[in-house]
Amino acid sequence: MLTKQKIIHSLLAESWVSGVDVATRLGLSRTAVWNHIVSLREKGYAIKSDPKRGYKLQGVPSSLYPELVSYGLGVKRIGRQMIHHDLIGSTNTEAMRIALDLSDGTVVVAEQQDHGRGRLNRKWESVSGKSILFSVVLKPDFVRPVEAYKFTMFVAVSLSEVLIESTGIDVDIKWPNDIYVKDKKVAGILTEMSAEADTIKHVVVGIGINMDQSSNDFSGDLKNAGSLSMFVQSIDRLVIFRQVLSKLDFYYDKFLNGNFDTIFSKWKHMCTTKGKTVRFKLKNVPVVGVVDDILEDGALSVKVGGGDLVKLYSGDITIL
């Protein structure tokens, strides 16, 4: 753990922390501790100092800094290592770029992206500090490339459960991986991977959760985009992010331990696309059908005119 992280954790744990205690615990001089305090203040931490009592944390910045996110998190893999950026092109692009050097479960998080990417080459828009934008690097050694949809499913289940548990609102998963509240998309998942023949080298799952945007923050063509603050009164980015990481860690562990069936049945239960009339493109031709089932391999089985069943593995559907 970095020194700054250790200092913040000490300040979060106790009301006053003496400079001597921190210096002894961390093997630093008192001047070095003071220098860290100065730079933490520059990062936005409000730290009071008193010659007799030492230091007291009076306020934290609103950023998703690793030292705040990791305090008491207790995860096995997801979020044990975290890389934070104030601004980056895309956390997915960055995580894919450096994935070889990262351990399983490392999180790349940003306050803002200026080239955020969605599925099907779409843009993912963000305003600084109004959403949660991060990517998780996963390196399981037994998953085949054809099973990549399983990553998206455990992530969709984790996100939905956190939102339901922490806000009490009804959340739907729209196939394959969009998280909706009422008719608004509040979160999206972009799963990318590097694979060779039948082996996955690493998977990067990018997650964007819209927290506090108003409808003006989304471009005109994103009519279905919404944010959680449109549905719930007070919602804290840091709290939600920590809960999401814990939940991802929990379900990733289940996944690694061969319990994907439980994840799939939860996903199917939360996915409201079954029974809906949908429009999609088949070899570039628009087709309308009724969703008959969602299959174990992640495919959507759609009954089209004449009663034929069409299986969709990727792409986009419009619910009519």
Residues that bind ligand BTN (CB under 6 A): 90-92, 113, 116-119, 122, 124, 133-135, 178, 188-190, 206-208
Of 125 and 161, nearer to ligand BTN (C-beta) is 125
Of 80 and 122, nearer to ligand BTN (C-beta) is 122
The single-letter DSSP state of residue 271 is B
Q: Give the three-class secondary structure for 203.
A: strand
The single-letter DSSP state of residue 320 is -
Residues 6+ apart with CB under 8 A from 33: 7, 19, 22, 23, 26
What distance in Å separates the CA atoms of residue 129 and residue 64, rounded to the nearest whole number? 9
> Least CB distance from residue 243 to ligand BTN, whole Å?
17
For the record, the structure tokens of 257 come out as 């331990």
Q: How many CB atoms lie within 10 A of CB 308?
A: 9
> Least CB distance from residue 98 to ligand BTN, whole Å?
14
Of 113 and 227, nearer to ligand BTN (C-beta) is 113
What distance in Å separates the CA atoms of residue 159 and residue 153, rounded to the nearest whole number? 10
> Least CB distance from residue 126 to ligand BTN, whole Å?
7
CA angle 45, 49, 55 (to 5 degrees): 70
What distance in Å separates the CA atoms of residue 7 and residue 313, rounded to the nearest whole number? 48
What distance in Å separates the CA atoms of residue 317 and residue 154, rounded to the nearest whole number? 21
Strands in 82-88's sheet, in edge-to-edge order, are 82-88, 107-113, 131-138, 199-210, 184-196, 178-181, 172-174
Of 1 and 120, nearer to ligand BTN (C-beta) is 120
Of 47 and 192, nearer to ligand BTN (C-beta) is 192
> Least CB distance from residue 225 to ligand BTN, whole Å?
10
**Strand-strand pairing, 82-88 and 107-113:** parallel
> Least CB distance from residue 43 to ligand BTN, whole Å?
22
> Least CB distance from residue 229 to ligand BTN, whole Å?
18
> Least CB distance from residue 116 to ligand BTN, whole Å?
4
Of 192 and 249, nearer to ligand BTN (C-beta) is 192
Of 6 and 122, nearer to ligand BTN (C-beta) is 122
